[in-house]
Structure 1
Amino acid sequence: MFPKLGGLLASTLAVFPFIESCSPVVPHYFRAADVSRTVTLAQVQNDLGKFLSKGTQIFGPSSPNFANATDRWAQSSMPANIEVVIEVAQEADVAKIVRYCYQNSIDFLTYNRGHGLKNTLAKFQGIQINLSQLTGITIQPDRNSALFQGGVYADIVIDTLWEQGYIVSQYGLISDDFLSLNVVLANGTTVAVDSSSHSDLFWAMKGAGHNFGIVTSAYIKIYPKVVSTWHYHNYVWSQQQLETVFEALNKFQGKGQIPALMGVNFGQFSIYPTINATEAILTWSFAYDGPAAAAEELLAPFNAIPNISSTMGDVDYADLLVAQGTDSNSASCQPGPFVGSSAWLQTYNVTSQRQIYNSSNEKIAQNPGLAAGARVFLEGYSTEATQAIDPGTSAYPHRDEYLLVFILVATPPSLVSFSQAWADETLALWRESEPGRRPTTYINYAVGNEPLESIYGYAGQLPKLRALKAKYDPQNKFRWYNPVVTD
């Protein structure tokens, strides 16, 4: 399970102290890939060291900090050659580094938590800008918003806000709650971006921000917590219950009708050797923003299905990820050399789910060594608030998509072709399960072989994004993660 707030701001937010106030429009349009050049650690230390804040670290591959600083969740998308890492101590440092790279034709990549399956990441060579020290969260005087620095991620956000009586869930997409973004553009210019300042860029940042700038901090709406605990219920079922479970899920969630307080429900097919070493089991977890009695009333159909195990409890929201097994230390969040594919669905086709389950067992039987790192994930979220937003206010294109599904297989090099064929077959079954609908892909789960329209939408979003790209990043410096303009 990928953390939903992992790297929350790094590729979608902006800069706080304004270093420069020149025009954000760069005057020429050409491919950055044609002009980028290599750098050395000594060169960067000499050129930049004296201009960056105290506490900023500049190091290269020989440093003991390098491996941890460049580690990626999907090791198969590891950049080809990170020559220098700069771990910034202040937001102002980001603009200085980007301006230096722009003036010297050096490629740069912003790093927060190392998420991303996209194959374009593997092509990067240049300077990596780490935001890991920028983890400040400041509740604003209005008590309705907070300033988040660009290095925050799920655990920090959830824990900090919960301790102070706030949450950010249940209110639509995180990007729907953006108030203002402090953004460093490709030429090192810093701009404040909101509905009245660079409003065209604000639209683009809410759904495709990694193509346009580095968000070093952002003002985002927050909401007071209403209850003191969330109720969770985790189930384990054998494959004999598969059809019954998915029929119950379809009745429970309809098409985009998951009850608003049932914030998340998700499951997976995977091998648990302590239960069955050769046959995948079906696990599912529900999380409800409220008391157990109300949650269990909704879950009565699932309680009626015979299970291998059933566990429940009531916890602080800050402890919910651990209870559901999706925290950063959980097995499903550990890094690996992953191969995979992903799709959106509106409902579960029960027949297709059985085919995908059977296929998974067959593939593992052919290569048992893949069993420990192979999972088919299925996620559902309450989308009432997301659907209520005018789709024209942001570049995000998937407000009518409700269920997120994907397969990941941790794969050694010798079995990449085998695992990719497995992932492709699974994706085809999902797409065929809803005939007449065009392919759609969640941007954070894209692997690199999807049509760009499936990521950015079929309603004219992509041409508009490319026009804005020519305006704000004509050299295509931000092209490493789901680029709207490819080389």
Structure 2
Amino acid sequence: MFARVLAPLAVASSFFTCVVPTVSATPTSPFDLFSRTPAAGIDVKSLAPYLSATAKIYLPDTKEFATYTTRWSNLQAPTPSIVIAPGTEKDVQKIVKFANDRNIPFLTYNGHHGTLTTLGKMDYGIEIYLPQLNSISIAKDGKSATIGGGANVKNLTDTPWDAGKQTVTGCCECVSYLGPALGGGHGWFQGHYGLITDQFLSMNIVLANGDFRTIDSKSDLWWGMQGAGHNFGVVTSVTTKVYDIEHYDWAIETIVFSGDKIEQVYEAANKYILQGGKQSADIHDWTYWQNDARYDTEGPVIIIYIVQEGVTTVDAKYTAPFHDIGPLAATPQSGTYKDLAKWTGIALESPPCQDFGFNNPRFPIYIKSYNVTAQRKAWDLYSSAVAEADNPYYNSIFMFEDYASGAVRDRSSDASAFGFRDAHTLAAPLIIYNSTGQAQDEAVKELGTQLREIIREGTGSSELHTYVNYAYGDEGPGAWYGHEDWRQKKLKALKRKYDPKGKFSFYAPIA
């Protein structure tokens, strides 16, 4: 038992007990759902004997606790009191039951890139840290794989690929596999197969009451788990479809423009990439607006990545229209699927996978095509807000992620809780800054919201459609999951049935 609890010998007198600060016994907001006992304690000693030999418990003031509670974004981050790393799936069930018996909040971590401000409502409790559950087992028939709840994108990129298989995953290597999937989940293969969640065949899940279940499409909960899954349980493993590799060759061309080319770049993207929704399943483009000292320009530059599967050079029918605009630079590269994260700056060693202690809120919006007038208006505001090396927002990025999406739309819009299958592009300003306090946080919120509103106005829709995994936190359930009355009623009914006490209400809560 002692071997699985990591804490300095100096705290031996309180080896199994972590006492949290005195807190109010009354909920203080709609998300503050747990009544509190003043000076409540988390008595780890009573839990430890029931966990597996590989489970680990980390107390405050240890290096491991500090490492495993660190967030990628510090804006309204959760503040757990203790970290428990389950060694088996059943450990998760025991932790949840332990927490429920003592009315202690809990929150599951795997990776740390969720930035919703609703997470900050967790101001004490148990962090369930999943990365030990990172197994990947490909079935003998080669058509499915069982993935542990602690696997990350790098795991799911390399292991199946090395076995001649591929499946839909997120793109950033350090992000968890299941976190994005429970909110739908975008990836390079979605044009062929659909969203990450569309691949799922079954899952093991610990429900709010501590029950451990295996569910599939026969369960009424299955619909809700595919798009709003953070609200219903801890997924400890999932069985998902995998596919034979079709093409080993991949290519990218990185093209850089000055800001005066905004209209021409996005007119070309609409015409030659998006093609009115007829985009080929093998072609993708991302654009980033960001400062880059390598280029002698006033303010940020536009960087477009054009990615193609099954070739060693991106087809000129996609790149030539952008060359004709007059870029500052154009750089072709070739390799395999495993090179994509490095090429696009989201590999394990890339800056987005490092913890610099910044606040990193995003303000996502789905769009069907680029309104070039709105793009110009947003560019003018964004570039004026982030330009100059001494600007506190200098390292910010405005992202436009356009994946092939035909197979996403092939599935009916009512087939899952993911509500935005008709979208083609995911846009999001990401404001990166070292916060000086609440006043600056509010100013950033105003800037990000204003940028997003410009893009929304350009869509002609009064509704805001967001990607829940990028969300700021104040958009609300309609924007996160879809505005239809029937959809919201169905989600709320599932919430009442499976989580009536709101145990899973720190991440984009349904109600």
Q: TM-score, normalised by structure 1?
A: 0.88
Q: Distance in 1 between matches of 2:473 and 2:380?
A: 26
Aligned-residue offset at 1:367: 9.1
Is 250-259 or 474-483 further displaced after alignment?
250-259
SS in 1 for 2:466: coil
SS in 1 for 2:361: strand
The answer as to 2:436 corresponding to 1:434 is: no
Aligned-residue offset at 1:277: 7.0
- The residue aligned with 1:483 is 509
Is 376-385 or 284-293 further displaced after alignment?
284-293
Q: Which of 276, 291, 298 does residue 318 from structure 2 map onto?
A: 298
- The residue aligned with 1:346 is 368
Q: Distance in 1 between matches of 2:231 and 2:285?
A: 31
SS in 2 for 1:234: strand
Q: Which of 435, 447, 458 does residue 422 from structure 1 map onto?
A: 447
- The residue aligned with 1:11 is none
The answer as to 2:217 corresponding to 1:195 is: yes
- The residue aligned with 2:281 is 260
Equivalent residue letter for 1:103: D
- The residue aligned with 1:89 is 87
Query: For residues 269 and 32 of structure 1, do their structure 2 counterparts lie closer, same or farther at Cα, with a shift above 3 Å needed?
Result: closer
Equivalent residue letter for 1:259: S
Q: Deviations over 1:118-157 (max 9, x none)?
A: 1110110200000011111000122100000000111110
SS in 2 for 1:85: strand
- The residue aligned with 1:108 is 106
Q: Deviations over 1:338-378 (max 9, x none)?
A: 23312111111111111111112222359942243211111
Q: Distance in 2 between matches of 1:149 and 1:209?
A: 16
Aligned-residue offset at 1:463: 1.1
Tell whether the 8 Å contact from 1:271 to 1:277 is kept in structure 2 after alignment. Answer: no
- The residue aligned with 1:128 is 127
- Name the structure, 1 or 2, with higher relative contact order (CA <8 Å, separation 6+): 1
- The residue aligned with 2:432 is 410
Tell whether the 8 Å contact from 2:165 to 2:244 is kept in structure 1 after alignment. Answer: yes
Aligned-residue offset at 1:298: 3.0
Tell whether the 8 Å contact from 1:271 to 1:372 is kept in structure 2 after alignment. Answer: yes
Equivalent residue letter for 1:473: D
- The residue aligned with 2:70 is 71
Query: For residues 266 and 39 of structure 1, do their structure 2 counterparts lie closer, same or farther at Cα, with a shift above 3 Å needed?
Result: farther
Q: Deviations over 1:85-140 (max 9, x none)?
A: 00111111000000111111111000000121211101102000000111110001
Q: Distance in 1 between matches of 2:313 and 2:34?
A: 62
Q: Distance in 1 between matches of 2:33 and 2:475?
A: 22
Query: For residues 33 and 451 of structure 1, do their structure 2 counterparts lie closer, same or farther at Cα, with a shift above 3 Å needed?
Result: closer
Query: For residues 150 and 36 of structure 1, do their structure 2 counterparts lie closer, same or farther at Cα, with a shift above 3 Å needed?
Result: farther
The answer as to 2:292 corresponding to 1:269 is: no
Aligned-residue offset at 1:36: 4.5
Q: Which of 481, 485, 490 does residue 464 from structure 1 map onto?
A: 490
Aligned-residue offset at 1:331: 2.6
Tell whether the 8 Å contact from 2:252 to 2:314 is kept in structure 1 after alignment. Answer: no
The answer as to 2:389 corresponding to 1:364 is: no
- The residue aligned with 1:223 is 243
Query: For residues 315 and 436 of structure 1, do their structure 2 counterparts lie closer, same or farther at Cα, with a shift above 3 Å needed?
Result: same
Q: Percent identity of the aligned residues?
A: 32
Aligned-residue offset at 1:76: 0.9
Q: Deviations over 1:174-230 (max 9, x none)?
A: 10111001000011101111012xx21011100111100010000000111111121
Tell whether the 8 Å contact from 2:208 to 2:233 is kept in structure 1 after alignment. Answer: yes
Query: For residues 39 and 132 of structure 1, do their structure 2 counterparts lie closer, same or farther at Cα, with a shift above 3 Å needed?
Result: farther
- The residue aligned with 2:116 is 118
Equivalent residue letter for 1:163: D
- The residue aligned with 2:11 is none
Q: Distance in 1 between matches of 2:262 and 2:32?
A: 50
Q: Distance in 1 between matches of 2:51 and 2:34?
A: 28
Tell me the matched-pair count.
450
Equivalent residue letter for 1:260: A
Aligned-residue offset at 1:422: 1.4
Equivalent residue letter for 1:183: I
Aligned-residue offset at 1:482: 0.3
Q: Unpaired segments of 5 or more residues in structure 1? A: 1-29
Query: For residues 332 and 69 of structure 1, do their structure 2 counterparts lie closer, same or farther at Cα, with a shift above 3 Å needed?
Result: closer
Q: Unpaired segments of 5 or more residues in structure 2? A: 1-29, 169-188
Q: Deviations over 1:309-340 (max 9, x none)?
A: 11112212112110221223323444421233
Q: Distance in 2 between matches of 1:246 and 1:167?
A: 31
Aligned-residue offset at 1:469: 0.8
- The residue aligned with 1:21 is none
Q: TM-score, normalised by structure 2?
A: 0.84
The answer as to 2:184 corresponding to 1:184 is: no
Tell whether the 8 Å contact from 1:201 to 1:468 is kept in structure 2 after alignment. Answer: yes
Aligned-residue offset at 1:39: 5.1
